[in-house]
Amino acid sequence: QVRLVQSGPDVRRPGASVNVSCKTSGYSFTSGGISWVRQAPGQGLEWMGWIHVTNGATVYAPKFQGRLTLTRETSTTTVFMELKSLRVDDSAVYYCARDGDSPLDHWGQGTLVSVSS
Amino acid sequence: EFVLTQSPATLSVSPGETATLSCKASESIGNNLVWYQQKPGQPPRLLVSGGSARAAGIPARFSGSRSGREFTLTISGLQSEDFAMYFCHQHNFSPRSFGQGTKVE
């Protein structure tokens, strides 16, 4: 079955960067794309960006332009998210989700990123 | 600026009753709207896509509909496992966006 398994929780200082990985399996990796969505504690969902896993094309929400980088490694069917210049309000659970037969049809388990001085 | 407005913020219903959730787009998005359910500590789960198509394995008590720019998720005969947060999501415009969520309690 389709699975997206994310890397573990992370704690960072303000100004640092964080990298979260999303290992996919159970489907043809090169069909469709992967979106990243975050959720601050007790808050709603926020779409951050998307990567086309075949050609590496990316679309970023304007809010994250310049700070967010999405990449993929087709040999390991893994997608990576890097967020730079972290702020305290970047503390959130970060999810990867597949854009497959339907938008965001399968999700990773989430990765808690805490930003604190 | 495109806005997706979800209402109500909280919906109090009893088991067996019907819950009606709304999501209104500030501009036409066609049928490019999806509904998700989220329980505490879990990622969202896809319920309905294309405005009205149930995802695989989703019970028939969940139904989606559209009237112009307004989308509705109806949960008929609420069961205990249906008490959760529900989010709508539009994928017509970039950046994609979510409604603020409705808590069904």
User: Which residues are B18's β-sheet partners?
Assistant: none
Tens-level pLDDT at each residue, chain A (117 residues): 999 999 999 999 999 999 999 999 988 888 889 999 999 999 999 999 999 999 999 999 999 999 999 999 999 999 999 999 999 999 999 999 999 889 999 999 999 999 999
The answer to whether residues B65 and B51 touch, using CB atoms and an 8 Å cutoff, is yes
Beta strands in chain A (DSSP E): 3-6, 10-12, 18-25, 33-39, 46-52, 58-60, 68-73, 78-83, 92-99, 106-107, 111-115
Calculated CA dihedral for residues B57, A21, A116, A40, nearest 10 degrees: -20
User: Which residues are A37's β-sheet partners?
Assistant: A47, A95
Which residues of B are less than 8 Å from A111 in CB distance?
A: none
User: What pLDDT digit, counting tens, does each position of B69-98 carry?
Assistant: 999 999 999 999 999 999 999 999 999 999
Contact B89 A63 (CB under 8 A): no
For chain B, the residues whose C-beta falls within 8 A of a C-beta of chain A are 34, 36, 38, 43-46, 49-50, 53, 55, 87, 89, 91, 94-101
